[in-house]
Structure 1
């Protein structure tokens, strides 16, 4: 069992401003798709430190972190239609965050390889875009300390 893959832990930010959600924008054979900014936790790094680093790398911004909203998992081997690699298992911890006053979002110095940019997506458009996790696209604006959501896509 030494070579058994371990779950990856990631921190994500839900940043809402004027009725729109800040999302990472990507492109592949499916077209444009979106997800919450943030990323993988490094060794000896707290989730808050991870989130501060990731938001600066991806979007060049400083943030204030508010409450924990929810925890979700994605286990690729349970889905036949996923683009994720076999064996991929990620635990995501999502926090409500705010941009530090005066911060302007831009393409950060170290964006993710699939990142095409960012988008502010209005609440009314969430069901019209390919957003991950898909199952909460319609309700994500209203999340309040949802706890553990389980394995969702």
Structure 2
């Protein structure tokens, strides 16, 4: 089975997070996900994320901190997904490989048809978000 290493950006803005929907011509078409992409052999997950978000969304980000990592078996491929919290530092979102993007309330993440690996990331994001407010 093929194993793919992927970096994903959990791009937040206060109580909202950015998700993107895979276009009809892509694998897993119609599924919502945290944007990112495949990690090349010669790059770190952080470098990959910076490159992919620029290529796919036309934005520059600062990578704030590690979020979580998830392994998911999709049958024909195994995805090892490394997620980082990010903040947009420059650019306006312009989609190229996705057909939609949305800023959604963190508490509403599970109302969307997220891809299976992304569901686990969403749960961690929701947990982190609630812990943050319990400390205030």
TM-score range, shorter chain: 0.7 to 0.9
The correspondence for 2:6, drawn from 4, 10, 26, is 10
Paired residues of 2:67 and 2:124 also in contact (CA < 8 A):
no
Could you tell me which residue of structure 1 aligns to residue 40 of structure 2? 42
Q: What TM-score comes out, normalization by structure 2 length?
A: 0.78
Could you tell me which residue of structure 2 aligns to residue 149 of structure 1? none
Using a 3 Å threshold, how does the CA distance of structure 1 residues 12 and 131 change in structure 2: closer, same or farther? same
Number of residue equivalences: 124
Could you tell me which residue of structure 1 aligns to residue 114 of structure 2? 131
Using a 3 Å threshold, how does the CA distance of structure 1 residues 52 and 128 change in structure 2: closer, same or farther? same
Could you tell me which residue of structure 2 aligns to residue 106 of structure 1? 94
Pairing 1:73–2:71 present: yes
How far is the alpha carbon of 1:98 from its aligned partner?
A: 0.7
Q: Unaligned 5+ residue runs, structure 2?
A: 130-136
Could you tell me which residue of structure 2 aligns to residue 96 of structure 1? 85
**CA distance, structure 2, for counterparts of residue 76 and residue 131 of structure 1:** 14
Q: What TM-score comes out, normalization by structure 1 length?
A: 0.70
How far is the alpha carbon of 1:11 from its aligned partner?
A: 0.7
- Higher helix fraction: Structure 1 or Structure 2? 2
